[in-house]
Amino acid sequence: MKSEYVNSIYKAAKHVFQLLVDIEPQRGDLKVVEDFASNKDANVELGVKGDLKGKILFSFPKNMTLEMVKIMSGMEMDKIDNFASSALGEIANIIGGNALSLLAQYNYSCDIEPPQIFVGDYKSISVGNEKALLLPLLTPIGEFDITIFLKE
């Protein structure tokens, strides 16, 4: 997988986080993984189609999700309900959309499918003989992951 995929997604995530929650996420060490799996509480999956095909998975711990929604809304949150999960889905959607705009600069024309949101267990999906990349992102309110599987 090319570095511009990961860099574009990171750049988009950083920009959106700064705007929405005033936080600049730092990159952790990139890992190669065999499948799409998550042990975190809230997961948003975005399908990608067009010149690049695949999936991007955003995985957030519960407390971080609640803190993000609290920063945005100014309201205390104690559970990931429809309001919080919908906000999280939209955040991932915006990051994905911005990442694809950045990738368009490398002449990749792609679209994202509507976000699918999973609260609680996320059933892992195999990527066959291929490899996916897991990008951990560190913030003062918690660590979240973006798992990327894209191919031409």
Partner 1 sequence: MMWKSKYKIGVDLIDQQHEELFRRVSNFTQTIRNEENWEAKLDKVKETMVFMKDYVITHFDEEEAYQAKIDYPDIEKHKEAHAQFKEAVNEYVKIFEEEGFNEHKIQEFGGKLMTWLIMHVGNMDQKIGEYMKSKGGQV
Length of the chain: 152
Tell me the closest approach of the beta carbon of residue 69 to partner 1, in angstroms: 8
Closest to 139 (Cα-Cα) out of 25, 7, 13: 25
Minimum gap (Å) between residue 87 Cβ and partner 1: 4
- Per-residue tokens: 25: 């996420």
| Between 12 and 56, CB nearer to partner 1 | 12
Query: Which of 9, 13, 16, 102 forms a contact with partner 1 (CB under 8 A)?
Result: 16
Dist CA 11 CA 82 (whole Å): 28
> What's the rounded Cα separation, in Å, for the pair 121 and 152?
30
Footprint of partner 1 on residues 61-120 (CB under 8 A)?
69, 72-75, 81-91, 94
Tokens standing for residue 52: 């690049």
State the number of CA atoms in the 13 A half-sphere of 2 facing the CB.
Answer: 9
CB of 16 vs partner 1, minimal distance in Å: 7
Stretch that binds partner 1, among 15-23, 36-44, 45-53, 55-63 (CB under 8 A): 15-23
Q: How far is 138 from 85, CA to CA, in rounded Å?
A: 20
Residue 19: CB minimum distance to partner 1, A: 5
Here the tokens at position 106 are 């490398």
Return the residues of window 17-36 that contact partner 1 according to CB under 8 A: 19-20
Q: Which chain residues interact with partner 1 by CB under 8 A?
A: 16, 19-20, 69, 72-75, 81-91, 94
